């Protein structure tokens, strides 16, 4: 390591693509994660916290973004040769744990986990190299009930954190049905399969015409670069497009009253598309089971719906795939109105543990993009605590620091957030500026005169700010936002004032 | 990156020196951190969450363990040349943030943070390469009130998480006093200063005779290797040992009733030792101020005490240093009874931000070793939730999965943790084994007979286990731990049973 390069002054900068979270950003996230953890826990999931570092071997090469093969992991080599790396998702470490502790863990193993993951990508606007994920997985359950439960829990979770019904939709599809359609269309496996998967994952972005080009000869993208197509023939393309549109799902216009009729219609179109494909028929039966289980538990098509346009880019999914989309519109950075979009997703992956043990272990799970969900809640005015800062006890006489500390202690014992100003107390203006920056609701003032009389001044900074915006000089001088109380009434008076401001 | 090495089966192992936390290990830690966050927040500290990765330049070379210069960081080079690294503590990232956002942050900036840090050390028993820290710092406050507040908050925090008064002691010292003593003894700065610091930090471990050797010519350590001494003369050694023993602090025998007399005695011994040293006098005045502030707030010498044997290894401390020790005895891995020992510590570091900006910024802060504190609480029987697992709804008829799911949903709506068994339901024995492994308190059973009659069997697994240990075959057959209730009473009956088991 090149540690000895002497630079007299390092730059006070975080590396590109990383970020810092301050104050209420941290508490809002923690609050949301507590709500999610409570839901997962009540569904019988146990928490798991693996370390950030795994061997590169154990992580494998399941990087999700097939479009950017250069997108990678942060990795380094140990002195004795082993390559270590930061985890890029929560699924690879789970597969390692499930294999390493297979004799000790309950089977099925239901776990949830929350924490940062790292991607060694080129940083860009809104694209970060460390971000939070919150995952739930069931390892060792082949039953479609495990997949249905994931979809149900996703709906429950979104409602619990504050996304009302109608503002989200959980969309379910099945890889086996796609495989069946491709079989019926005579589309080969391997590279072609991967290419088709990659292209139809762009359906939301480039639309039907775009996907037609990408499945065929290719197309020019927005930057003018030519993107090679998957090389399918016209008839094959028709099969794939038919599949993507089988549910023709307008997520904003789902009509719950249509009940299972809609599901029946979708399944019937799919049956035509797959022809005699055995795997396709399996996939349709799986979709049907999931739909039945969810309907029996009272989940409506305004919450969870079959949507054949959902593919999920990851190569490792083997059966059901699901995705939660937020359906309300936001204004993006470029000023365009658009749907908020995908917030969570997952699916069944039966092969991940086999990498280690040679035995196939059925598993299904989902991942919530924590930062995106938090942004969504904030755009809806949720989890935006007004977040007053602490009460500031000002310092009028630096020799009486112990008295001021005692006042702060009194307030804290009454459950009130409080602190003594600890900067240089020479300028009282600086102390009030500090209180302002902290968004303090109240400042406490006690000079020698007040100390002699056993009283304190309580300055209502919220009211003060309101007056400052509207008041005349005369009104300002009257200072109605400040009043004197006996020292013994300090906590009660501050509490009353805070309650008044809510 | 050597990613292309094809290994058919990777080993299902985490890298050496890392660990996984399961179930209640995760929840116990989260619960403890919530309590600590609540205390810090009430004291006016704001949360900060920086990313795990910093530039190596920004981290600098403040690695705390001066004894092992090879101990390092996990670092790697970006394609364009920048070295990145995982943070090894929370102080270096804070210094970076304080410098980067100096125009936006309130001044003083009071922040707390919780999260993992990484050390590229040789893993060993009980020595991990990723561990949790929980820090609070005040940046921009020169006042001793900031240091006194840290000590007070440390005591408050330990009591809040469940360490009773008498089981901990916060010990305070001051580097300036040590510097004054060395000045009076004619001990030079630079390398000698660092060597002395390194040796006296071992006082707790090697005792007075050991430190005498280490300050002088050196000594053989336990492994038989010769450790070079600091090369001081006899008289100089006497000064340093006199300093270490000035408070002669037996942490188990602190007598709160002695009040400030003891502090006065310690300060008076120190005044003799520093002679005419100006920096030494400054340090004594600082210790005195801290003692006064704490006494005025009602903290006794059974909570916080001056202890001149506390040095803290880090070179960057410039004034007050403090350390929290748990004073109760535990039995260690070798079967020896010993004091639990240090759990948290910190001090004043006025130079860290200057690295970036050239301007000196006074700062003081502390770090709690989260994993050690949690281990301490668990050794005292705290934070050991009995932690029943979820109620398990068993599957007697796989075609009636939706009914079982509905039962689990009913239980969850009543606030009861519950799940349907999602493994292969063929063997009922496996389902009960699963419930046992999950430490489930209750299993719900409904076969076709019960379904027809609209009832469910509620099996009390806790009582069942007790009976299994003590019962005769006849008693066992009577199965008093299982009873039948109408399906409509499911949630009520389970709730009553759970309440009975507490």
Chain B CB contacts of A72 under 8 Å are: 1, 3
Partner-chain contact A13 B100, CB within 8 Å: yes
Q: For residue range B33-44, what is the model confidence (pLDDT) as tens digits? A: 999 999 999 999
Task: Specify the pLDDT at position A476.
Answer: 55
Residue of B nearest to A1 (CA): B75
Across chain B, which has 502 residues, the per-10-residue mean pLDDT values are: 55 94 93 95 96 91 47 82 91 95 95 95 84 96 96 96 95 93 84 82 84 89 84 89 78 44 86 92 96 91 91 81 92 81 92 88 95 89 72 94 93 94 92 93 95 95 77 61 92 93 76
How many interchain CB pairs under 8 A, A with B?
Answer: 296
Partner-chain contact A53 B401, CB within 8 Å: no
Residue of A nearest to B13 (CA): A100
Name the minimum distance, in Å, from the CA of B86 to any CA of chain A. 10
Residues in chain A: 502
| Chain B contact present for A52, CB below 8 A | yes
Name the minimum distance, in Å, from the CA of B474 to any CA of chain A. 31
Mean pLDDT for all residues in chain A: 87
Residue A391 scores a pLDDT above 80: yes
Chain B CB contacts of A424 under 8 Å are: 142
Q: Which residue ranges form the domains of chain A, and what is each CATH number? A: 24-379 (3.30.930.10), 391-501 (3.40.50.800)
CB A375 within 8 A of CB A389: no
Give me the mean pLDDT over the A209-222 stretch.
88
Task: Specify the pLDDT at position A314.
Answer: 63
Alpha helices in B414-460 (DSSP H): 428-437, 448-453
* CA gap A61, A63 in Å, rounded: 6
| Chain A contact present for B464, CB below 8 A | no
Partner-chain contact A110 B419, CB within 8 Å: yes
Task: Specify the pLDDT at position B30.
Answer: 93
Strands (E), A279-356: 304-306, 320-331, 337-348
Task: Specify the pLDDT at position B62.
Answer: 52
Residue A50 scores a pLDDT above 80: yes
* CA gap A277, A282 in Å, rounded: 9
Residue of A nearest to B112 (CA): A23
DSSP H or E stretch at residue A134? strand A130-139
Partner-chain contact A74 B82, CB within 8 Å: no
Binned at pLDDT 50, 70 and 90, residue A5 comes out as very low
Binned at pLDDT 50, 70 and 90, residue A256 comes out as very low
Name the minimum distance, in Å, from the CA of A252 to any CA of chain B. 27
Alpha-carbon distances, residue B343 vs A256, A407, B163, B167, B211 (angstroms):
57, 29, 11, 12, 23
Q: Chain A neighbours among B 293-332 (CB < 8 Å)?
A: 293, 296-298
Residue A255 scores a pLDDT above 50: no
Give me the mean pLDDT over the A253-273 stretch.
71
Task: Specify the pLDDT at position B66.
Answer: 44
Structure tokens at B92: 């270096």
* ipTM of this predicted structure: 0.88
At residue B483, φ and ψ (nearest 5 deg) are: -145, 165
Residue of A nearest to B400 (CA): A293
Chain B CB contacts of A118 under 8 Å are: 52-53
Chain B CB contacts of A140 under 8 Å are: 423
Say if pTM beats, i.e. exceeds, 0.80: yes
For chain B, what is the radius of gyration of the CA atoms? 29
Q: For residue range A90-128, what is the model confidence (pLDDT) as tens digits? A: 999 999 999 999 999 999 999 999 999 999 988 877 789
Partner residues linked to A365 by β-bridges: A137, A347
Q: For residue range A426-479, what is the model confidence (pLDDT) as tens digits? A: 999 999 999 999 999 999 999 999 999 999 999 999 887 777 676 665 665 565
- Sort B187 into a burial class: Cβ within 10 Å, 0-12 / 13-18 / 19+: buried
Q: Is the peptide bond before B108 cis (omega within 30 degrees of 0)?
A: yes
Q: What residues contact residue B280 under an 8 Å CB cut-off, 6+ apart?
A: B176, B177, B179, B180, B181, B183, B184, B270, B273, B274
Task: Specify the pLDDT at position A225.
Answer: 86
Q: For residue range A479-502, what is the model confidence (pLDDT) as tens digits? A: 568 889 999 999 999 999 999 887
| Chain A contact present for B357, CB below 8 A | yes
Nearest-CB residue to B420 (from A10, A129, A145): A145
Partner-chain contact B60 A10, CB within 8 Å: yes
Angle subtended by helix axes A144-161 and B401-413, to nearest 10: 30
Q: For residue range B385-416, what is the model confidence (pLDDT) as tens digits? A: 657 899 999 999 989 999 999 999 999 999 99
* CA gap A271, A285 in Å, rounded: 10
Alpha helices in B369-447 (DSSP H): 370-379, 401-413, 428-437
CB A311 within 8 A of CB A219: no
Strands (E), A332-433: 337-348, 363-369, 391-393, 418-420
Binned at pLDDT 50, 70 and 90, residue A258 comes out as very low
Chain B CB contacts of A438 under 8 Å are: 44, 106
* CA gap A134, A89 in Å, rounded: 10
Chain B CB contacts of A293 under 8 Å are: 401-402, 405
At residue A412, φ and ψ (nearest 5 deg) are: -65, -40
Task: Specify the pLDDT at position B258.
Answer: 46
Structure tokens at A167: 């503002």
Residue A223 scores a pLDDT above 90: no
Could you give the 3-state DSSP secondary structure of residue B113? strand
Task: Specify the pLDDT at position A408.
Answer: 94
DSSP H or E stretch at residue A267? helix A260-274
| Chain B contact present for A68, CB below 8 A | no
Task: Specify the pLDDT at position A384.
Answer: 57
CB B253 within 8 A of CB B173: no
Partner-chain contact A55 B130, CB within 8 Å: no
Chain A CB contacts of B14 under 8 Å are: 50-51, 54-55, 58, 96, 100
Q: For residue range A133-161, what is the model confidence (pLDDT) as tens digits? A: 999 999 999 999 999 999 999 999 999 99
DSSP string of A45-104, one letter each residue: PEEEE--SEEEHHHHTT--S-TT-TT-B--EEE-TTS-EEEE-SSSHHHHHHHHHHTTTT
Q: Which of B4, B102, B106 is most worth mutating to test chain A (most A CB atoms within 10 A of its CB)?
A: B106
A45 or A265, higher pLDDT: A45
Task: Specify the pLDDT at position B82.
Answer: 87
Give me the mean pLDDT over the A326-335 stretch.
83
Partner-chain contact A49 B9, CB within 8 Å: no
């Amino acid at each position: 390591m090149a540690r000895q390069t002497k630079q007299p002054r390092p730059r006070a900068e975080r590396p590109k693509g990383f970020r810092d979270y301050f104050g209420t950003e941290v508490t809002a996230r923690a609050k949301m994660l507590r709500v999610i953890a409570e839901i997962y826990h009540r569904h019988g999931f146990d928490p798991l916290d693996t370390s950030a570092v795994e061997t590169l071997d154990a992580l494998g090469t399941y990087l999700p973004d097939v479009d950017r093969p250069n997108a990678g992991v942060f990795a380094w080599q140990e002195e004795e040769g082993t390559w270590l790396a930061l985890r890029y998702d929560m699924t690879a470490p789970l597969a390692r744990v499930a294999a390493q502790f297979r004799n000790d863990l309950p089977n099925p193993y239901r776990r949830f986990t929350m924490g940062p993951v790292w991607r060694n990508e080129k940083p860009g606007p809104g694209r970060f190299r460390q971000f939070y994920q919150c995952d739930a997985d069931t390892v060792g359950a082949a039953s479609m009930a495990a997949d249905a439960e994931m979809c149900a829990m996703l709906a429950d979770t979104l409602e619990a954190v504050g996304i009302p019904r109608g503002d989200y939709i959980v969309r379910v599809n099945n890889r086996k049905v796609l495989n069946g359609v491709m079989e019926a269309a005579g589309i080969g496996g391997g590279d072609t399969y991967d290419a088709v998967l990659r292209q139809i994952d762009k359906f939301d972005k480039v639309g039907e015409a775009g996907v037609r080009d990408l499945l065929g000869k290719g197309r020019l993208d927005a930057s003018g670069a030519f993107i090679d197509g998957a090389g399918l023939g016209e008839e094959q393309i028709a099969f794939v497009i038919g599949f993507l549109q089988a549910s023709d799902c307008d997520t904003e216009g789902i009509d719950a009253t249509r009940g299972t009729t809609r599901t029946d219609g979708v399944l019937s179109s799919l049956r035509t598309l797959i022809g005699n494909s055995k795997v396709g028929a399996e996939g349709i039966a799986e979709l049907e089971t999931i739909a039945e289980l969810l309907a029996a538990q009272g989940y409506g098509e305004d919450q969870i719906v079959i949507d054949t346009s959902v593919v999920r880019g990851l190569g490792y999914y083997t059966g059901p795939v699901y995705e939660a989309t937020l359906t309300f519109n936001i204004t993006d950075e470029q000023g365009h109105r658009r749907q908020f979009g995908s917030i969570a997703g997952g699916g069944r992956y039966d092969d991940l543990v086999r990498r280690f043990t040679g035995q196939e272990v059925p598993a299904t799970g989902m991942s919530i993009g924590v930062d995106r969900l938090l942004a969504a809640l904030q755009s809806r005015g949720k989890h935006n605590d007004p977040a007053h800062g602490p009460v500031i006890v000002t310092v009028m006489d630096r020799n009486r620091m112990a008295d001021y500390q005692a006042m702060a202690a009194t307030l804290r014992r009454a459950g009130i957030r409080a602190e003594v100003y600890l900067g240089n107390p020479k300028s009282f203006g600086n102390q009030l500026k500090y209180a302002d920056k902290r968004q303090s609701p109240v400042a406490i003032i006690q000079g020698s005169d007040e100390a002699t009389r056993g009283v304190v001044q309580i300055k209502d900074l919220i009211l003060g700010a309101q007056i400052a915006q509207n008041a005349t000089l005369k009104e300002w001088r009257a200072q109605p936002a400040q009043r004197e109380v006996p020292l013994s009434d300090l906590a009660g008076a501050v509490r009353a004032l805070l309650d008044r401001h809510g």
